[in-house]
Chain A
């Protein structure tokens, strides 16, 4: 039994990784403002990234050495092996993002930029390690605030400002929905701890119309965070306007954390009100709600992506489609479903960080339209190969990790209802993933098939970026060829 009071030393022990990360953020900020104030931009970046990466690595070590099971009262801080894995993945993604920001040239505020990435990571680490509605909300807002700023960080670009404002307005509204839903849940169950809510709901179950309102509100709030249709309108603009590194961060890490906590909230707290979306076996609950959102996301995201000419907008719409697939993992509401969701979202994050990394390396050339990629295979064969791997993984071509992710999540979802009740949804998902190949191939066609318009010189890519991209590509291939490596840590126990 966990005691009801918490000593500071206990708190300190539990949150060492987060503290290390925060300190690294403050250190990066302070160094940049004092010692490095007059150094060149490149030197400040080198020092800042080094400090920030050191912080992340220290946090990883602290994470590895901490107890696998621990907790604070009222579900405020819950550590399980699973949260450890997710936190480690978040830290790894942060490291990749930091390494890719070596070549950032759009801002002089290096310290602030790096610190914000670290603070956002801290927020996400808290987010995944709590089962308390209040802390979930606080961490989510902390995360969102950091992301709003990161999106608008390019002060010289009107697009960046517009993206940030749009993201902020939609985000603020959705936070309202989420808070309303949470307060209804609290009102219904007199608890803010996820397992307690489930217990309370299962007692008086469950025909209270307020519960359905709460479910819809929570779904809207999280639907915005994960950019699922019809709450996706901010995503294309944010992805297009934000600095590339921020966009990659937004599309990867925050997806991992948001999906994990979304799954926790609905599968743990709302477990008694699951319902069913099976063919001819409909029952109201959050499952049919999410099925609706998932189906819409898959259709809207993949079909809209067909019409895009901007690479970033294409990735944004494809991200909306992918959010639909990922929701299948939550819809399964089984241990296998959660494991499939984590596999999907982690491998997706790797591929998407890589794809944005490639775009970032192309940014100095002013490449954003698909047609601009023409001749890439000659100008930068390595980048072209990396892009091929990332996009084909997103399209779900074996032996890349995206394929197994799709297979696993479809299987888990189909298994969750007796008599293949969700077959219609899986057929829709499979059909949409066939559609998605078309637009990914369009990009690759430009990069591999089209000849360069005139004799452009070879592209120069910084060694850090190149190394990061190769590592990411290798991970995408490795996890696709040997999914067991990841399944062993996120799988069923």
Chain B
């Protein structure tokens, strides 16, 4: 049944493209996204902990041992839920798109279909196909409907977003080129080790690849996916991309697309080539394994992203860099290689997806679309807390979730990651903790400047013309996201009961029994 999330999205894309009126296109797109969410929720309701549901498994290209294998375990289901929520909210927040509306929702839903596909694929080839399907719509969403910064030179409005779109597409494609090379190598090795070629993830996970092969295949594939997860120093596409994208696209980029990368790191790189994490047997500059290298990069991402966010003048860039910081936690969680750390990493994927979506919704839709500026210095005198109180309340809640206030999902996730790191990489846990503190600082700064700014001394009256009020779709979207983060924050077991059994399944045997124990 879960496979219908993909099909419904594709059908929705076609329907929205062919819809005669803009309003109809919006409604059709919303229906498609809602049915995707409903399908995921139904699956959640019927879920038996620890199960691996095979949705479809038919030969696709039998000549090469490639099958159309869709399946879901707890990790997949968590991310499917996230996709459903983020997609629905994104459509609600792009209700005001009026230019080429039909095409917008068509590209949007193709992207969503690709994301569902990645999370459901249990064949590496199929996973890669869906992964790439998601790239091209991203490019067009940003290049055509992207938001233009106010300080852009006249006549050059388009060039910045085209630059951001192209940068994002090329980074994604460069990353997926690494993955493609790893996939081709895995296909050949599977043939030479077992005699029959396969790219089925379950089969590959059981193949004892040589240590030597895994030692170079792991970093190649991991880095290839991590580009999309915003790993430092390959993160630079993320802030520019987020900032230039239209609201819904930044919500999806930060909310879901970055998770594609992180999911690929876990599902492909770590699950198939766990021996790549083993110690090298020698030390270079204090690094003894790929695990050390990646963990340090993750730490740098956490601290660097937060520090850069602290000095940004553009509201959207602050949120963009905060994504880099929060995704650093995901990578750190993966590198702890403990149950609790991995669990925290998957939870953080979900949590950050929701929270980043909310933050971008406030910045892009509620504030920018009304004030047409993202500069802190220009927003501050507007005292938005008085003008659009709903946005202020939403942002306060989102900020609390983002800095890891207990009760919100961010706390559960980051706490688990820090605990996991404390057990295995103690000094890194300390630095990550410092990163959280910087996170509080930049969030606080953004919050106070934008919404609770000082009334300028010289101006007597409030800002000249009143801003349009918050619309119903915006309220619904905010509500959906807030409820999600609160639910998981107050009752994390709803997701951890999915994730933990999945991490204990035979698929991750290699990861549990590695030489680092």
Residues of A within 8 A of B (CB): 392, 397-399, 403-404, 406-408, 410-411, 414-415, 418, 420, 423, 426-427, 430-431, 433-434, 437-438, 441, 445, 448-450, 483-484, 487-488, 491-492
Question: Is B285 in the interface zone, CB < 8 Å from A?
Answer: no
Query: Given the complex, which residues of A lie within 8 Å of B162, measured CB to CB?
Result: 445, 449
Q: Within the complex, what minimum Cβ distance (angstroms) separates A280 from chain B?
A: 14
Residue-wise, chain B 386-418 has the 8 Å CB interface mask toward A (1 for contact) of: 000000000000000000000000000000000
Which 3 A-B pairs have CB atoms at the shortest separation, nearest pair first?
A: A398-B129, A434-B177, A449-B143
Identify which of A420, A426, A449, A484 contacts B60 (C-beta below 8 A).
Answer: A484
A-B contact pairs, 10 of them (CB 8 A): A397-B136, A398-B133, A399-B133, A411-B187, A430-B180, A430-B181, A437-B169, A483-B61, A484-B60, A487-B61
Closest A-chain residue to B181, C-beta based?
Answer: A430
Contact check, A487 vs B63: say whether CB atoms are below 8 A apart: yes
The binding surface of chain A is classed by DSSP as helix
Which B26-67 residues sit within 8 Å CB-CB of chain A?
Answer: 60-64
Question: Is B189 in the interface zone, CB < 8 Å from A?
Answer: yes
Contact check, A420 vs B170: say whether CB atoms are below 8 A apart: no
Contact check, B63 vs A403: say whether CB atoms are below 8 A apart: no
Contact check, A437 vs B64: say whether CB atoms are below 8 A apart: no
Query: Given the complex, which residues of B lie within 8 Å of A437, measured CB to CB?
Result: 169-170, 173
Residues of B within 8 A of A (CB): 60-64, 125, 128-129, 132-133, 135-136, 139-140, 143-144, 158, 162, 166, 169-170, 173-174, 176-178, 180-181, 183-185, 187-189, 191-192, 213
Query: Given the complex, which residues of A lie within 8 Å of B173, measured CB to CB?
Result: 434, 437
* In the complex with contacts A437-B169, A441-B169, A487-B63, A427-B187 CB distance below 8 A: no
Identify which of A423, A441, A484 contacts B61 (C-beta below 8 A).
Answer: A484
Identify which of A403, A414, A448, A450 contacts B129 (C-beta below 8 A).
Answer: A403
Among B60, B184, B185, residue most surrounded by chain A Cβ atoms (within 10 Å): B184
Q: Within the complex, what minimum Cβ distance (angstroms) separates B252 from chain A?
A: 19
Contact check, B174 vs A434: say whether CB atoms are below 8 A apart: yes
Query: Given the complex, which residues of B lie within 8 Å of A403, measured CB to CB?
Result: 129, 132
Closest A-chain residue to B145, C-beta based?
Answer: A449
Contact check, A407 vs B184: say whether CB atoms are below 8 A apart: yes
Closest B-chain residue to A339, C-beta based?
Answer: B63
Identify which of A408, A423, A441 contacts B166 (C-beta below 8 A).
Answer: A441
Closest A-chain residue to B183, C-beta based?
Answer: A407
Identify which of A415, A430, A484 contacts B188 (C-beta below 8 A).
Answer: A415
Q: Within the complex, what minimum Cβ distance (angstroms) separates A415 from chain B?
A: 5
Contact check, A420 vs B181: say whether CB atoms are below 8 A apart: no
Identify which of B133, B135, B144, B189 contacts A420 (C-beta below 8 A).
Answer: B189
- Measured between alpha carbons, how far is A415 from B190 in the docked complex, in Å? 11
- Measured between alpha carbons, how far is A484 from B62 in the docked complex, in Å? 8
* In the complex with contacts A398-B129, A431-B177, A433-B177, A426-B184 CB distance below 8 A: yes
Contact check, B188 vs A434: say whether CB atoms are below 8 A apart: no
Contact check, A427 vs B143: say whether CB atoms are below 8 A apart: no
- Measured between alpha carbons, how far is A430 from B173 in the docked complex, in Å? 10
Q: Within the complex, what minimum Cβ distance (angstroms) separates A335 from chain B?
A: 11
- Measured between alpha carbons, how far is A437 from B136 in the docked complex, in Å? 10
Identify which of A404, A410, A434 contacts B170 (C-beta below 8 A).
Answer: A434
Contact check, A448 vs B140: say whether CB atoms are below 8 A apart: yes
Q: Within the complex, what minimum Cβ distance (angstroms) separates A386 from chain B?
A: 15
Query: Given the complex, which residues of B lie within 8 Å of A420, measured CB to CB?
Result: 185, 188-189, 213
* In the complex with contacts A484-B63, A492-B63, A414-B174 CB distance below 8 A: no
Q: Within the complex, what minimum Cβ distance (angstroms) separates B181 from chain A?
A: 5
- Measured between alpha carbons, how far is A204 from B482 in the docked complex, in Å? 80
Query: Given the complex, which residues of A lie within 8 Å of B169, measured CB to CB?
Result: 437, 441
Query: Given the complex, which residues of B lie within 8 Å of A406, measured CB to CB?
Result: 180
Query: Given the complex, which residues of A lie within 8 Å of B191, measured CB to CB?
Result: 415
Contact check, A427 vs B62: say whether CB atoms are below 8 A apart: no
- Measured between alpha carbons, how far is A415 from B64 in the docked complex, in Å? 12
Closest B-chain residue to A399, C-beta based?
Answer: B129
Query: Given the complex, which residues of A lie within 8 Å of B183, measured CB to CB?
Result: 407
Contact check, A411 vs B177: say whether CB atoms are below 8 A apart: no
Closest A-chain residue to B139, C-beta based?
Answer: A441
- Measured between alpha carbons, how far is A397 from B158 in the docked complex, in Å? 25
Closest A-chain residue to B103, C-beta based?
Answer: A377
- Measured between alpha carbons, how far is A423 from B173 in the docked complex, in Å? 19
- Given A410-B184, A420-B185, A445-B143, 11 extra CB contacts under 8 A: A407-B180, A411-B187, A414-B184, A426-B181, A426-B184, A434-B177, A437-B173, A445-B162, A445-B166, A484-B60, A484-B61
